[in-house]
Amino acid sequence: MNKEEIIKKTAQYIEKTFVNSHSGHDWWHMWRVWQNAKLIGKTEKVDMFIVEMGALLHDISDWKFNSKEDSESGTQARQWLQQFNLDRKTIDHICDIVATVSFKGASSTVEMKTTEGKVVRDADRLDAIGAMGIARAFAYGGSQNRLMHNPHEKPKKHHTTQDYVKSTSSTINHFYEKLLLLKNLMNTESAKRIAENRHKFMEDFLREFYSEWSGKI
């Protein structure tokens, strides 16, 4: 099986696996990250097979839905990849991206070792900001029974992954605890440019949200 066929089969597997997810981490999120990664990858010197596979599999072991051991080792991604005739180095590279791609708190970002990993991480973070990021934030908040907003609860800067994982604060607080931080955490120049407009859109949304929340016409 050639690499193009492996990518196609992996996309079909991910679509089937995440088709019924309603938390903002569904197949269409994976698809958008895949498209983002291909777009960003064109501007970087990378192995596009690793980029595309990392993007498609990036949430297969996400810490929000899997055990700590699975999320840190990329177990499910490795099990999927081992069926193909891929060398150990390629499998390890993809699994390392899967295991380290996720945001785990403002002070707990794990350094991405390779340019391929940085492309996938940027692609994932772009889908967490802008109009899509807003929609996904409220979808996830609803799936976790979180309030949209509590004006008496202030955002927190989580200093450890454990603090971030345990957080149950409102969706609006999530903007300050994660989404508004992502613009300055992009790695590639193309992602930085895209992030500028998406970041501004979120700021405009928040101004309108607070205006309507306070009853202003």
Q: What is the pLDDT of residues 130-141, one digit of tens each?
A: 999 999 999 999
66 has a pLDDT exceeding 50: no
45 falls in which pLDDT band (50, 70, 90)?
Answer: very high
CA nearest to 23, candidates 53, 55, 73, 62: 62
What is the residue range of 135's domain?
3-213
CATH number at residue 160: 1.10.3210.50
* Count: domains in the chain: 1
* Residue 201 binned pLDDT confidence (cut-offs 50, 70, 90): very high
Give the global pTM: 0.88
C-alpha to C-alpha distances, 111 to 107, 146, 180, nearest whole angstrom: 11, 30, 19
Determine how many CB atoms are found less than 10 A away from the CB of residue 158. Answer: 20
At residue 29's C-alpha, the angle toward residues 23 and 35, to 5°, is 175
From the number of C-beta atoms within 10 Å of its C-beta (0-12, 13-18, 19+), residue 171 rates as buried
What's 73-118 look like in SS3?
Answer: HCHHHHHHHCCCCCCHHHHHHHHHHHHHCCCCCCCCCCCCCCHHHH
In the predicted model, what is the mean pLDDT of residues 42-65? 87
User: Average pLDDT, whole number, for the chain?
Assistant: 88
Q: Is 74 left (phi over 0), alpha (psi -120 to 50) or beta?
A: left
